[in-house]
Chains A and B, each alone.
Chain A
């Protein structure tokens, strides 16, 4: 008679063990759920912290410059001779802008043309071939681009132009064009592919040729996306250091011709910063130049954001 009762008891015991184990597991899941929720939040905040640190460290040192150099001198004087306490960065600023502009003049038509080819014209097998090849270009380190520019492009430019060493902003712009090509091309490609098919169909139905469809319908419709791609390419071109440093000549003067050895913000920083005292006006001025780079990049990013928001509103 005792056996069933005993059985029941042990069963009860077992199930209560199971319940408590389940409760434990449940608790564990809830715990890990909340822990990781905070961990993920912490990670993204860490990113913001890094950004804050960049702005703080660079900005703080940069601001120290104004005790010793006037704002007007820094931005409008072309005389950069730190040994004689002359810190005019105008030449670097103008060179950076003209180098970026020249890069875009070369890179944008080529990249957008490639993007049109990939997105609209090429057959499928060619698309699946070109896209990974462009990704290969992204993977090549910038120092290798610079080295190739130095050993292959410069001798070539020297022979063609017959001018000096061949270094200057043309050489730098050519190297940079190749580096930003995949960036601009892939993002424009995405923008073109995202143009709704019905637009194309409507244009074809009116008897347009493919060129007319591309030029008058697809490219205008993808316009904002392509401009975003171009600006993203610009941020890369403005911030690129090592490839530029190897082909631009590194002389602190205004690039009056395409073959004047000159220097841009990034190349001047990397050439000089290791040799200066931390607590010197020279170092402060270099930090100011870096801060300027930051400001330019942020403005460009802001433009992309505004364009993106408008595009979403329009859609």
Chain B
């Protein structure tokens, strides 16, 4: 016997609660289904016809059977250049914000700068790159311009993930380092960074994945064409990337198999991005699961 009586009011509340719970689960289920359907439809259209040949062949302007060799290479090359430039500066900025920045107006200003920079739409970085490289230096649309502009886009995100990773390092192990008479930089290099490394690497992968698929910046700074050679390391040749090629093929190309090329390019794009993300995240995810978090 309980003292709790079931009134009409509570019964209605309980009914609603149950209904809402089902509602939330249905919503979640539908979204998950949508996500998996998306992934599967990208893969199922592109993967079956994917071959090594397609990955390394030259694109064709007129004939059926073109590949994506140079654009795939350009994608990695530009990504590499952008990371070379942005990782040292992004890490440095993140470390400064987490370790050095005093709590004053100046730091507040810096923080506003980082947030404002991270909100700048990617197309604006494209226009900046266009203005600097094509107009100011007059070198036209190049791999170098694409790489540098992409690096600018990466910077704020890198700074933020680094700051968060460094902040998450417990204070007591830092103090232990200071107690041994280490300098601040020595503590950062030998104690803080090794502990934060895993989150920083995850962050860099996230940024790299985003940069690999970025197209608005590259269209404006590296152009819609390639130099026509496979292993072209020249920084000053035009550098169409895979994401841009997907855009070009579906909007302007006149080859008969444009649709298939676009399907396959989309699949390759998604696979590479997922690989960049998963390869480094999977161990992290497993570890989290094991710890029951």
Which A residues fall within an 8 A CB radius of B?
Answer: 29-30, 32-33, 35-37, 39-44, 46-48, 50-51, 53-54, 57-58, 61, 110, 113-114, 116-118, 121-122, 124, 126, 128, 130, 132-144, 146-148, 150, 152, 178, 181, 207-212, 214, 235, 238-242, 246, 266, 269-270, 273-274, 278, 286-287, 290, 293-294, 297-298, 300-301, 304-305
Contact = CB atoms under 8 A, between A and B. Distances in A.
Nearest to A125: B289
Interface stretch (B23-31, B63-71, B170-178): B23-31
A47 B156 contact: yes
A41 B31 contact: no
B139 interface: no
A58 B127 contact: yes
Interface of B: 10, 13-14, 16-17, 20-21, 23-25, 27-28, 31-32, 34-35, 38-39, 41-42, 88-93, 95-97, 99-101, 110, 112-117, 119-128, 130-132, 134-135, 152, 155-156, 159, 182-186, 188, 206, 209-210, 212-216, 219-220, 243-244, 246-247, 250-251, 262, 266, 269-270, 273-274, 277, 281, 285, 288-289, 292-293
Contacts of A246: 247, 250-251
19 contacts: A29-B183, A33-B183, A37-B185, A43-B91, A44-B92, A44-B93, A44-B159, A47-B156, A51-B117, A58-B127, A141-B215, A144-B213, A144-B269, A144-B270, A242-B247, A266-B121, A270-B216, A273-B220, A274-B219
Contact of B124 (A29, A293, A300, A305): A293
A139 B130 contact: no
B214 A141 contact: yes
A239 B273 CA distance: 21
Nearest to A209: B17
Contact of A114 (B21, B27, B182, B292): B27
A143 B17 contact: no
A14 B193 CA distance: 36
A41 B212 CA distance: 28
A37 B273 contact: no
Contacts of A240: 121
A33 B132 CA distance: 35
> What 3 A-B pairs have minimum CB-CB distances, sorted nearest first?
A141-B213, A239-B121, A43-B92
Contacts of B270: 140-141, 144
B17 A211 contact: yes
A53 B89 contact: no
B35 A54 contact: no
B92 A42 contact: yes
Contacts of B115: 301, 304-305
A113 B27 contact: yes
Given A43-B95, A239-B120, A239-B124, 11 more contacts: A37-B184, A41-B100, A43-B159, A114-B27, A114-B28, A136-B39, A139-B213, A141-B269, A141-B270, A270-B219, A274-B220
Given A54-B117, A117-B28, A140 B13 contact: no
Given A117-B27, A269-B123, A211 B42 contact: no
B128 A58 contact: yes
Nearest to A34: B185
Contacts of A33: 183-186
A141 B243 contact: yes
Nearest to A128: B289
B42 A144 contact: yes
Between A113, A147, A238, A274, the greatest number of chain B beta carbons within 10 A of the residue's beta carbon is seen for: A147
Contacts of B32: 130, 133
A121 B289 contact: no
B215 A235 contact: no
Nearest to B12: A209
A226 to B, nearest CB: 16
Contacts of B215: 141-143, 242
Contacts of B214: 141-142
B92 A139 contact: no
Given A44-B93, A143-B243, A150 B250 contact: yes
B124 A294 contact: yes
A29 B181 CA distance: 11
A61 B124 CA distance: 13
Contact of A110 (B17, B31, B112, B285): B31
B130 A273 contact: yes
B127 A269 contact: yes
Nearest to B134: A278
A241 B123 contact: yes
B50 to A, nearest CB: 15
A61 B243 CA distance: 29
Given A132-B281, A301-B115, A141 B123 contact: no
A266 B122 CA distance: 10
A130 B28 contact: yes
B220 A50 contact: no
A47 B113 contact: yes
A143 B122 contact: no
Contacts of A117: 24-25, 27-28
A41 B21 CA distance: 50
B117 A44 contact: no
A30 B24 CA distance: 58
A121 B21 contact: yes
